[in-house]
Structure 1
Amino acid sequence: MNEKQLTSEIGIRAGLPAAKVKEVLELLGVEVRDALKRGDQITIPGVVKLATVQRTARVGRNPRTGEPVEIAGKRAPKAVFLKELKTAVA
């Protein structure tokens, strides 16, 4: 399902115009990004829990030469799918 289909389906179920639904989805994306930047956790009910994890610095290997390479630590997004979604899909 692409973005247009998603906005259309939500619009039909909620009785809202597709343009309004698209605006709400864009705002959701902004809020999720802002919350994750702050280090907050976000739960989208019945779907997913989003958070960030700190990846530590480590030593990797260059696949061509086999030489050790320093890989810097960083924050990365993490998604945990909620039980309701897992059971619905199974």
Structure 2
Amino acid sequence: MGFLDLLLHLSGFVAPALALALLMPTASRWLLRLQPVRAMRWWVQAGIGFAVGVVVLLGGLWVFGRDGKMATYAALVGVMATLQWLMAGGWRR
């Protein structure tokens, strides 16, 4: 496997985490009408969400021995939604 192939495989592996990390801060403000914590900007929330999402995907790879399992994606969505709720201060409402 060449470097370009490795880069394409890695980008395909982390793409779901990146997509959710970019969509969650915007969607939580728009859909849930939560006022975000003022000290944390959306790109900080996206960065934290991306890091946590990659950890969840790596955990799914470790547990199942391969990537792309639906249980891993379900765990990714659940963890990312819970994390966004915590970062937006949803427990205070």
The alignment's TM-score, normalised by the length of structure 2, stands at: 0.33
**Larger helix proportion, structure 1 or 2?**
2
- The TM-score normalised by the length of structure 1 is 0.34
Q: Which has the higher contact order (CA 8 A, sep 6+)?
A: 2
Max Rg structure: 1
